[in-house]
Structure 1
Amino acid sequence: MRKAARHLVETMLEQAGVTPGGNAPWDIRIHDDRLYDRVLCDHNLGLGEAYVEGWWDCPRIDAFISRVLAARVTDRLSGNLKLLLKALPAYLFNNQTRRKAGKVARVHYNLGNDLFLAFLDSYLQYSCAYFQDTDDLEIAQRNKMDLICRKLELAPGDHVLDIGCGWGGLAKYMAEEYGCRVTGVNISDKQIEYARTWCRSLPVTIEKKDYRDVRGTFDKIVSVGMFEHVGAKNYRTFMRKVDSLLADKGIFLLHTIGGNAPNLRCDPWITTYIFPNGMLPAIGQIARACEGIFVVEDWHNIGPHYDPTLLAWHKRFIDHWDSLSSTYGQAFKRMWEYYLLSCAGAFRARDIQVWQVLMTRKGRTQPVCR
């Protein structure tokens, strides 16, 4: 049986230009022959788990994953009851209710701030940078923040709502560089604690609050890297909430990772080990959610910029590993490397995207959008 599994997996990899034991940077080195059966049984989940457990290695995981996805190798794998059962709750239940939404904060965003400080830029931007005319992460993240601010047409005195404000970097930037007053909402205790300390001398308020519980009126609203945790059953609720908070002449910018087709679950390994209950929206899902509520003024795909962002994060993570190793351990290192590099490969293959969608209320003049 294992011989047949090996032949099948090697045949599929050959179609992606990958040779187990080969000399190319994207060729994998298999240390445990049980990998073949595991991949056929558990697909992406099994591949990622096996890497963390040391069953295989690769000099360039990002290049390996990019080739496999671009060749659509995984499309040739049939379904499996175990994976179906893991996906079923996302179809049947709302996994992003107020109570359940806190899981991703506990599992991921409440990991030690020392980890994120080690590999993110100085503004702690945990989202796609904008490598326009630069290859430097610091500059690219400032490019991204400034692009957002210009699209929002920020002006001194604007009251901005930042939904899912992270460690407060964008709020800090908007307050310092554009003279805005910012309210950030978040559900991660460690991010909130850091953001409040970091922004305490600025007109920035950080609240622990689910987006559904926000009240008030705001000149501009922005949400960066949070919509991936909203869930398809709540997309329309999210848009209605933003509509209820946005001033008549206001502007809303949604920055989100997205999928090329509707899917109620992310990659099963990412969902299991990195972002519980995560869900990537498709264009049609976002469009239907805002239909009749907003005018969509601009839809900008900056997805190709996430590949170099993730590679920069990975380099910084490895460069700082010595200071993190005693806290997180070798299994975590392999998990985090696989997370960053497999995602880089997915963006390189154009399997997933990053969209900045600019929206306004009816009757407002069109923003410049760039």
Structure 2
Amino acid sequence: MPINTLESSPWRGSRHDFCRERLEPLLDQAGIRINGDRPWDIRVHDPAFFRRMFADASLGLGESYVDGWWDCDRIDEFICRIIRAGLADRFRSWRDAVAALQARLFNLQHAARAFHVGQRHYDIGNDLYGCMLDRRMIYSCGYWKDATTLDEAQEAKLDLVFRKIGLEPGMRVLDIGCGWGGAARFAAEKYGVEVYGVTVSAEQARYAREICQGLPVTIELKDYRDIEGHFDRAYSLGMFEHVGCKNYGTYMKLVADRLPDDGLFLLHTIGINTSDNHGNPWVDRYIFPNSMLPSIAQIGTATENRLVMEDWQNFGPDYDRTLLTWYDRFEWHWPSLRPRYGDRFYRMWRFYLLSFAGAFRARYIQLWQIVLSPKGLTRRYDAPR
């Protein structure tokens, strides 16, 4: 991929100079230098980057990186410092205003759009995810409390989830957003339960059915709104980020309607500190279409008169480590993936994994496990840790 450099390309107009003069003191507040020599400093190859930052904000930052306009050895630390310095909220573009208006006027996660994220993200290649993820293909935060490897962290997470909802042999369990079936298989094998899982990804459904053959596990390609039947327990790992705030109430009501009064549901989701009605523009366009992160207030409102909160745990810093481990595995396997995916995809995927790691490190986003019951348990609930 050809990349211009400051030495080989002239500054194209005073607008770039003006934008650089505005940007430098802002980055200085975060301890970041332009063309500095520290790992979190950025090296600018195309001066148009400066104007693009002010014109397109977060979308411009991500797109210009993928285009090769700038580089950074530690994107995760660069993003962390940007957020910690409060700069993320100072860069807003007209696109953010349009996105907010669209989200206010329309239900961007309605049923007709439910399968978009499956087709554009989860279906892009099981070879990619097989290289990046653990042996069970669990695509959500690991639990690193006592773990030293990714496999251990993901198994510890699954064990934590199933202990929290009190799985017992013979139970019928709902898995909303079952991914590649690793959690359903683990629950069936270790806890002796029957699992019904749904996903909006055709590739996930196919793979999950293959690895769960011979077990009491049913996998269907289906939107959560079409789930029928009754279950003793339910869980959802890293799927709620695709539901959308206009649908949170519908989602919680469906869960409550599918469980008995003494049932338990565990919601494992990324969360954000401040309520919003739409997601990051770059993430929405290139990684997770129609996605957005819920806030505590939004989840609380959605559960009112529907579910009772029994426990709420935050282990957001564990996602930083999980993402860095995924990135290391992605880098290690990149030579074998490169012929299929290409260098532009590499830059996009690198920015995705490392920018999310930086956001978790800055505590801008969190990882929540929330245990809910339809009516509130009559006994005391002590969540395992």
Q: Which runs of 5+ in 1 are unaligned?
A: none
The sequence identity of aligned pairs, in percent, is 51
TM-score of the superposed pair, with normalisation by structure 2: 0.94
- Corresponding residue of 1:11: 25
Which letter does structure 1 place at the counterpart of 2:66? V
- Secondary structure, in 3 states, of the residue corresponding to 1:320? helix
Once the two structures are superposed, residues 135-187 of structure 1 have per-residue CA deviations (whole angstroms, 9 ceiling, x without a partner) of 31110111110110110111111111000000000001101111111000111
- Secondary structure of 1:248's counterpart equals coil
Alpha-carbon contact 2:19-2:54 (below 8 Å) kept: yes
Secondary structure, counterpart of 1:192 in structure 2 = helix
Residue 281 of structure 2 aligns with an amino acid whose one-letter code is P
The one of 31, 39, 58 aligned to 1:44: 58
Shift of 1:52: 0.4
Letter in structure 1 aligned against 2:370 = V
In structure 2, the residue matched to 1:271 is: 284
Kindly report which structure 2 residues correspond to 1:1-370, keeping only aligned pairs within 5 A, or say none.
1-77=15-91, 79-364=92-377, 365-370=379-384
| 1:82 to partner: Cα distance | 3.3
Following TM superposition, by how much is the alpha carbon of 1:80 offset from its aligned partner in structure 2, in angstroms? 2.7
SS of 1:261's partner is coil
Query: One-letter code of the match for 1:13?
Result: L
Deviation at 1:208?
1.5
| Bigger mean CA offset, 90-99 vs 159-168 | 90-99
Q: Residue 6 and residue 246 in structure 1: after superposition, are their counterparts in 2 closer, same or farther (change >3 A)?
A: same
SS of aligned partner of 1:182: strand
Residues 151 and 367 of structure 1 are in contact (CA less than 8 Å); yes or no, is this contact kept in structure 2? no
**Equivalent-residue separation in structure 2 for 1:154 and 1:368 (angstroms):** 15
Distance 1:363 1:119, change over 3 A: closer
Q: Distance in 1 between matches of 2:85 and 2:28?
A: 10
Q: Output the CA distance in 2 between the equivalents of 1:349 and 1:189.
A: 35
User: CA deviation digits over 1:220-244, x for unaligned, max 9?
Assistant: 0001111111010000000110111
**TM-aligned CA distance change 1:238 to 1:282, over 3 Å:** same
Amino acid at match of 1:6: R
Q: Given the two structures, how large is their TM-score scaled by the length of structure 1? A: 0.98
Hey, what's the Cα distance between the residues in 2 that align with 1:254 and 1:363? 16
Distance 1:363 1:339, change over 3 A: closer
Q: Is the 8 A contact 2:164 2:383 kept in 1?
A: yes
Aligned 8 A contact 2:307 2:376 in 1: no
5+ long unaligned stretches in structure 2: 1-14
Rounded to whole Å, the distance in 1 between the matches of 2:190 and 2:323 is: 26
**1 CA distance for matches of 2:38 and 2:323?**
21
Give distance in 1, aligned partners of 2:208 and 2:372: 27
Which digits, 9 at most, give the CA deviation of each residue in 1:208-266, with x for residues without a partner?
Answer: 11111111110100011111110100000001101110122110001111110111122
8 Å Cα contact 2:99/2:278 also seen in 1: no
Query: Any conservation in 1 of the 2:175–2:197 contact (CA below 8 Å)?
Result: yes
Residues 297 and 366, structure 1, Cα contact 8 Å, conserved in 2: no
Query: What CA distance in whole angstroms lies between the structure 1 residues aligned with 2:318 and 2:43?
Result: 29
CA–CA distance in 2 between the matches of 1:293 and 1:343? Answer: 32
What is the letter of the counterpart of residue 243 of structure 1?
A
Q: Secondary structure in 2 aligned to 1:357?
A: strand
Offset of residue 367 of structure 1: 3.1
Task: Output the amino acid matched with 2:224.
Answer: Y
Answer yes or no: is the 8 Å Cα contact 1:183–1:206 preserved in 2. yes
* Displacement after TM superposition at 1:363 (Å): 4.9
Residue 265 of structure 2 aligns to a residue in which SS?
strand
**Deviation of the 1:295 alpha carbon:** 1.4
Compare 65-74 and 339-348 and name the one that shifted more. Answer: 65-74
RMSD after superposition: 1.0
What CA distance in whole angstroms lies between the structure 2 residues aligned with 1:336 and 1:191? Answer: 19
Deviation string, structure 1 residues 260-312 (Cα, Å, up to 9, x no partner): 01111221111110000101010010001001121101110011100000000
Amino acid at match of 2:295: A
Paired residues of 2:256 and 2:373 also in contact (CA < 8 A): no
